[in-house]
Amino acid sequence: MFMALKKVLVTGGAGFIGSHLCESLLSRGVEVVCLDNLVTGSQRNIAHFTGNDKFSFVNTTTCQKFDLEDGFDTVFHLASPASPVDFHRIPVEILLANTAGTYNALAFAKERGARFVLAGSSEAYGDPLHHPQKEEHWGNVNPNGVRSCYDEGKRVSEAMTMAFHRKYGVDTRIARIFNTYGPRMRKDDGRVIPNLMTQAVKGEPLTVHGDGKQTRSFCFVSDLVDGLVRLGEADHVRGGLFNLGNPHEMTILEAANLVKRLSGTRSEIVFTGRPEDDPARRQPDISKARNMLGWEPHVHVEDGFRQTIDWFRGVVK
């Protein structure tokens, strides 16, 4: 029912989630090749396992055809910038990573007869019309708005994955990843968790966009990685699509207050402008992953926030 992974390719392996995935696979004795062009990933994220002889790093882009040695049983395709700040900074690169990049990663998996796990996104739901979000929801996405490079990029990544599955029989699986947080997020990443925690540690005002009533459901990175690994290992989910995230929903104002309390900061909360097309609510329905993968998150938001605040204390000067 579950295949033991032996040798995997992780594209985007030097990024936040990617580096935790590499680490988890290495701890299980899996050989890992990490491919990353370091556009948002960092060698710091993988520095502590570069001495491991089961790990190797290839500095290249997925946007051009790449060639590697033989023997891969699985490709985890995570390579893509993912922060709303990047949507403004490098929108064309994001679209290329999710079109050409996903094509090249799938072509590699097809050529090698490897399984393919796509890191898709809850952004496929856009500003969702149903709550909580089930995999059947087709989404409510502005196709040319400021988030479209990522939303539509992830949607075309899904379409590309299913086309390779249907046309060429590639053994694919798609994860729709909801908001994930933890150590190794970039402090200048611009997302709400790094922003609030960096601000708290520095004693600067905590910025809440709009009235802070919009919601997100935050998943600690170790839980998310456990879901991705199960998705790669499970034999019975060929062509499948799964929400992966923590269903614990909270408003952004609640998240800010929690950061304030757990960090002990004296910083005040300030309300600033809300970005265009910002989704109002987001909460995964994870029944399918529970039933078919036996997966669910275990890290309580207070524990996860504490660990992440501690990590930001170490990196914020």
Amino acid at 98: N
Helix %, strand %, coil % of the chain (to 5): 40, 20, 40
**Which residues contribute to the site for ligand UDP (CB under 6 A)?**
84, 179, 191-192, 195, 207-209, 214, 216, 252, 274-275, 278
- 247 vs 275 by CB, closer to ligand UDP: 275
What gap in Å lies between CA 101 and CA 111, rounded to an integer? Answer: 15
Shortest distance in whole angstroms from residue 115 CB to ligand UDP: 28
CA 300 to chain centre: 19
Shortest distance in whole angstroms from residue 104 CB to ligand UDP: 25
- 111 vs 188 by CB, closer to ligand UDP: 188
Q: Are 206 and 256 in contact (CB under 8 A)?
A: yes
Tell me whether residue 150 is one of the annotated catalytic residues. Answer: yes
Q: Are 271 and 220 in contact (CB under 8 A)?
A: no
DSSP string, 117-142: EEEEEGGGGBS-SSSSBPTT---B--
The H-or-E segment that residue 103 falls in is helix 102-112
- 77 vs 282 by CB, closer to ligand UDP: 282
- 277 vs 296 by CB, closer to ligand UDP: 277
Question: Would you call 204 exposed, middle or buried from its count of C-beta atoms within 10 A (0-12, 13-18, 19+)?
Answer: middle
Shortest distance in whole angstroms from residue 4 CB to ligand UDP: 34
The H-or-E segment that residue 242 falls in is strand 240-244
Shortest distance in whole angstroms from residue 218 CB to ligand UDP: 9
What gap in Å lies between CA 124 and CA 190, rounded to an integer? Answer: 20
Shortest distance in whole angstroms from residue 315 CB to ligand UDP: 17
- 104 vs 199 by CB, closer to ligand UDP: 199
Shortest distance in whole angstroms from residue 259 CB to ligand UDP: 11
The H-or-E segment that residue 293 falls in is helix 287-293
Instruction: Tell me if residue 9 falls in helix, strand or coil.
Output: strand
Instruction: Tell me if residue 207 falls in helix, strand or coil.
Output: strand
- 132 vs 240 by CB, closer to ligand UDP: 132
DSSP label at residue 268? P
| Cis preceding linkage at 132, omega within 30 | yes
Amino acid at 233: E
- Strands, E, within 55-159: which ranges? 55-59, 74-77, 115-121
Shortest distance in whole angstroms from residue 5 CB to ligand UDP: 29
- 37 vs 122 by CB, closer to ligand UDP: 122
Partner residues linked to 177 by β-bridges: 121, 244
Which of the residues 103, 125, 150, 181 is marked catalytic? 150
Residues taking part in catalysis? 150
